[in-house]
Structure 1
């Protein structure tokens, strides 16, 4: 090692061995204090109303612990450190305002004048005393008994039941999972879930109840969700065909209606048939009283008017002349038949006379 390297090594060793002088109290006092961290607490999913104390307490405690403020619920403030005490007071005010904000209006007045979070927490926990706890258990059991699937899906129905059971577990924490009471409660919840299903799942429900090994709640939910999915796919398939057919028929009917409407709109209206063009069997002449024509078209009246204009009109003579001019066409059909019968009779009488 060279002389220069030895000298540098000695200097470094001397610097490391030299004691560091402590900072003076005045320097510490003059140092700027770090700014407190600003914290924002989210609103809870429910507001405290005096009857949901256990659930509200659980949600509030979980939120404060997530923000590293859970110590304010049970610990005393750090009285020996002024700076830490300032931060503590700031956090206390933040938590107090947050708690009051998450209460119903009728509950705020009871806790508005409390200034310490720990005291407020004790007051709220008193509302969750045994008498209130058993009342809440009764209320939850009543909700559990009345809850039916109805229009809900299997997932929504099971989620509502699980929410009730979670709150029951908060009021009465579960013990040993191998204990008979716990096993009995789990079995009861599976049966309660099956009881609330719609009648369309009766076959699958009966199969689950008659199994040699009784299924767990999650197993029952899983099988019913599978049956619900298969039913939904089947319903969508048939519904698509039906809806397509209905739409096709509706379009066809709409086109038919539009075509008929267009035809009625664009087609010219046919003029009403005159009595001469239409059926004349119901017409009766007002002059000669014969069917088949009207007075305006009566040939007898026209013949009479022609004779009157010529000045040769004679009612007695002209009637015979008119009938002769009309011939058999003007004679009634009954009269023609009578004349034919009379001719046959006269012919037969003639032949009899020849034989005699």
Structure 2
């Protein structure tokens, strides 16, 4: 009775109102609840009263009063750890082993529907917006419940020497590790490839430690680098401002208008062919519209384009033949023509610069307004 290693020993702090685990049994949490209660009974050295090792002695046995007292204490602990609705169904069971067996038969059987739910939840579980620690915890909760429903080993030997239980446990841990790697976010693809290339394959705890370390390295700076846009992605307004600043301050001395000089004045030298057609860029009251299409608008509105010259087309074969015939006929007439003797050599000079036709090369740069 006074031996503290004996299952019949009761500590002064043991009382019938004690609740072994913080969460009571509700039915669906039987697996977690049973493991918690099993651990608490092992700590109090009373597991023999629920697993059937310590049977009820005869009434005339000297240990019967001690067994009855300890059994009643364990029964009280179990009732305090069960929800009131379930507790009412075992109220008339007085043996701790009978209560434990009845609860195991009712709630530990995993049907096909529950197995399907667990398997479906495992396959659809991924990291998402959670961190690595939260994702790992959620996966372990579901996986442990699913693994507990599986057989411990497939060995049918009377005295097992093939160590199948440890092999089965190693296989289940490897499957959980694979599922953990599958559900990680794509940002961990590099560390995932490194883990899969390791030989031998690391255990689940080592894989979790490597992924957690990678997550900490990614968040150690606390900011993401900002990539500056390239020159081709700069807004059109920058190019337009440069063009306006280039034309600003230039004044024509002939017509008195801005944005061009006298050497490019259309009023003095004549208008180029195709002027005023197409886009109404030089029309009076035309509104200049700019969009934020960075590349195309910049090319279309550039001052270096030659939009005033019409597109050149190659002459056809018939036109070439007609031109050759006309030139040959003119050469034949010129060969028989005798020019008269000149009587005076009057200079053929223009009387006014306004009568000079528009000659010379036109660069295509148009910056004249009006």
Tell me the TM-score normalized by structure 1.
Answer: 0.48
**Larger % of helix: which?**
1
| Greater Rg by CA | 1
Tell me the TM-score normalized by structure 2.
Answer: 0.46
Structure having greater relative contact order (Cα 8 Å, sep ≥ 6): 2
